[in-house]
Amino acid sequence: MTVTRSDVQLMLDVKAGDQQSFELLLQRYRTPLVNFLYRMVRNREQAEDLAQEVFLRVYRAREDYEPSAKFTTWLFRIATNLALNSVRDHRYQKLETSLDAPIVADAEQGDERTMEVADKHPDIEQHLVEEARKKMIRHAIEKLPEKQRAAVLLHKYQELDYAEISKILRCSESALKSLLFRAYETLRVELAPLVASSVKH
Amino acid sequence: MSCEKMETRILAYVDGRLKEAERAEVQKHLDGCAACRVRVNEFRAVTDLLDELPVMEPSGAFNARVHALIAAEPRKRIGWFAWFTPSPRIAFVASMLLLLTVWLGSRQGPEPLIAPEALPVVENADYDVISSFAPLSDLSQVPDDDANDNDASQPQQPQQM
């Protein structure tokens, strides 16, 4: 029976010189990091560059690593700082088309790939509706101020608790909860057409 | 509980992260507040919508690029300096001692061995050093009295030319 080592244990093993442990951390966190960074900077290439930079910084810091906080707090703090700097400094061009433009399949845009292999949609109209919904949701997240965006992504997709997210964003827990509240208030207005169709009042 | 207080609790309620006592308090407020009930339902709808976004897979070259970045990292520098200084602390102390030595050695300036006050006052300002060493022949005017030869203990008197 193989025991799954915790993040902290893996990182301590990396500190001790075990390269294999670093590979395991790389496998464990490459997808969450790329996805978080992509939702933050809205540029796939930049998101991958930043994610690679996160792993490089983790590697560089290995000898001084002390498990004073959760590994994910440390990891996502590095990622969030890089993302916020990137958004503020570079203001990357959005790759997505506007909502008024003809909708094309994601595979042609090279914008996103889903995990499903060779989607087969017997109902093209349904497919277009789904794509339109996804674009609307992505757009709504992208419009959020950076810190609110980071809070939503960490809360929703990384399922980090409030204490962790507040450490990552360097604010109090109550400030974080207010941040999330404002973000969700904005999202429910931006996504009103989609929300209305799914909510029974 | 007021609607304002709900702000910091509503998401935790939706997430199911509230402790029982607080959850009951929130529920009680919701039972009596339509606006907050709507908000809770819509927040739930938003979190469901966020689930619709697909997960991206990193590109095939991702791991290789991380490995390349790590391989490009400079190895730890072991300069000649490291041979002398097994630790930064020793290096610091050594450099401080060196500085101290250099500073002490560079101190210059005349240092009188005798304090000025201890020196005898010479009344004649025109004290002529050279003439005070007049040849012995000039001393013939002065009685050569060995018995009174205690000049050594007395300050030199200038010879009157």
Question: Would the CB atoms of A133 and B12 count as touching at under 8 Å?
Answer: no
Distances in Å between the alpha carbon of A178 and those of A129, A184, B23, B128? 33, 10, 18, 97
ipTM over 0.95: no
User: Closest Cα to residue B55, out of A32, A44, A127?
Assistant: A32
Chain A CB contacts of B44 below 8 Å: 199
Q: B116, B75, B42: which is closest to A200 by C-alpha?
A: B42
pLDDT tens across A44-57, in order?
A: 999 999 999 999 99
Smallest Cβ–Cβ distance between A48 and the set B9, B45, B58 belongs to B58
Helix (H) or strand (E) holding B17: none
Q: Is A115–B45 a contact, with Cβ atoms under 8 angstroms apart?
A: no
Q: Is B151 helix (H, G, I), strand (E, B) or coil?
A: helix
Per residue in A72-120, pLDDT (tens digit) is 999 999 999 999 999 888 764 554 444 444 444 443 344 444 444 445 5
pLDDT over threshold 80, residue B112:
no
Instruction: Provide the pLDDT for residue B62.
Output: 97
CB contact under 8 A, B66 and A60: no
Cβ separation A181–B55 shorter than 8 A: no
Hey, of B56, B59, B63, B73, which one would you mutate to test binding to chain A, going by the most A CBs within 10 A of its CB? B56
Contact present, B50 and A133 (Cβ < 8 Å): no
Token pair 């018995």 is found at B147
Contact A99, A136 (CB under 8 A): yes
Chain A residue numbers touching B73 (CB-CB < 8 A): 56, 59-60
B59 CB neighbours in chain A (<8 A) are 48
Give the pLDDT confidence score for residue A39 in this predicted structure. Answer: 95
Q: What is the pTM of this model?
A: 0.68
Q: In this predicted structure, what is the pLDDT of residue B99?
A: 85
Check residue B76 and give its pLDDT. 61
pLDDT the model gives residue B127: 47
Look at the block and give the residue holding tokens 């002490």: B104
Q: Are A15 and A63 in contact (CB under 8 A)?
A: yes
Q: Which residue has the tokens 């040849």?
A: B135
Q: Alpha helices, DSSP H only, in chain A?
A: 7-15, 19-41, 44-60, 71-90, 106-109, 124-143, 146-156, 162-168, 173-190, 192-198
What is the rounded CA–CA span in Å between residue A181 and residue A92?
27
8 Å CB contact of B45 and A180: no
Chain A contacts of B9, Cβ < 8 Å?
177
> For B49, which residue in chain A has the nearest alpha carbon?
A137
B11–A178 C-beta distance less than 8 A? no
Q: Which long-range contacts (CB under 8 A, 24 or more apart) does B8-15 make?
A: B8/A174, B8/A177, B8/A178, B8/A181, B9/A177, B10/A181, B10/B36, B10/B39, B10/B40, B10/B43, B11/A155, B11/A177, B11/A180, B11/A181, B11/A184, B11/B43, B12/A162, B12/A177, B13/B40, B14/B40, B14/B43, B14/B44, B14/B47
- Closest Cα partner for A109 from A125, A124, A94? A94
Give contacts of A130 with chain B, Cβ < 8 Å. Answer: 52
In this complex, do B63 and A26 lie within 8 Å of one another by their Cβ atoms? yes
- Chain B neighbours among A 131-150 (CB < 8 Å)? 133-134, 137-138, 141
C-beta separation of A189 from B38 below 8 A: no
* Whether pLDDT at A198 is above 80: no
Judge: B58–A156 Cβ closer than 8 Å, yes or no.
Answer: no
- CB contacts of B39 in chain A (<8 Å) are 188
Q: With a cut of 60, say whether residue A185 has pLDDT above it.
A: yes
Which residue reads 């998401």 in tokens? Answer: B11
The residue among A135, A145, A54 whose CA lies nearest residue A97 is: A135
Alpha-carbon distance of A168 to A12, in angstroms, equals 21
- Of the listed ranges A7-11, A57-61, A162-166, B100-104, the one predicted with least confidence: B100-104
